[in-house]
Amino acid sequence: MTQMDSMKFRIAKGDHEKALRAFTKILDYQRAHPELFVYTRTRTFFMDAQDNPEQEIWMFIDEYEDRKAYWESLQNARKNDPISAENYRAFMQLVVPGTVPKGHEVWTELEELRVEFDR
């Protein structure tokens, strides 16, 4: 069963390039340390905030097969790995004050409704 966690957060438009560099660093680290992170795929999206022209809304989507293992891996990495803890701190410093994420949303795929095209 495929599940995903997503989380939305706001970044100041002026920090777009800084955020891009920071998230590239975070994901490069996660890619290099699959023993710490239990997910099968992650993607990141952004859009202009409709209610504030100075902000962007960013969202990541992590896909995995086992929610408990996924969540424990994130918590353990942040608690036990100094680089992961620093990456999390750097991420939170980019989030617009007062718009701190409320947490992850968990979604379960209806696999019978999946459509994939080989192109």
**Spatial distance between the Cα atoms of 85 and 71, rounded to a whole number of angstroms:** 15
pLDDT in tens, 68-94: 999 999 999 999 999 999 999 998 999
- The pTM of this model reads 0.87
Domain of residue 44, residue span: 3-94
Decide: helix, strand or coil at residue 96. Answer: coil
In Å, the largest CA–CA distance within the chain is 43
Does the residue 103 lie in any domain? Answer: no
Does the residue 54 lie in any domain? Answer: yes
pLDDT in tens, 1-52: 789 999 999 999 999 999 999 999 999 999 999 999 999 999 999 999 999 9
| CB count in 10 Å sphere of residue 22 | 17
Does the residue 70 lie in any domain? Answer: yes
Does the residue 57 lie in any domain? Answer: yes
**Spatial distance between the Cα atoms of 110 and 18, rounded to a whole number of angstroms:** 36
The separation between the first and the last C-alpha atoms of the chain, rounded to the nearest angstrom, is: 25
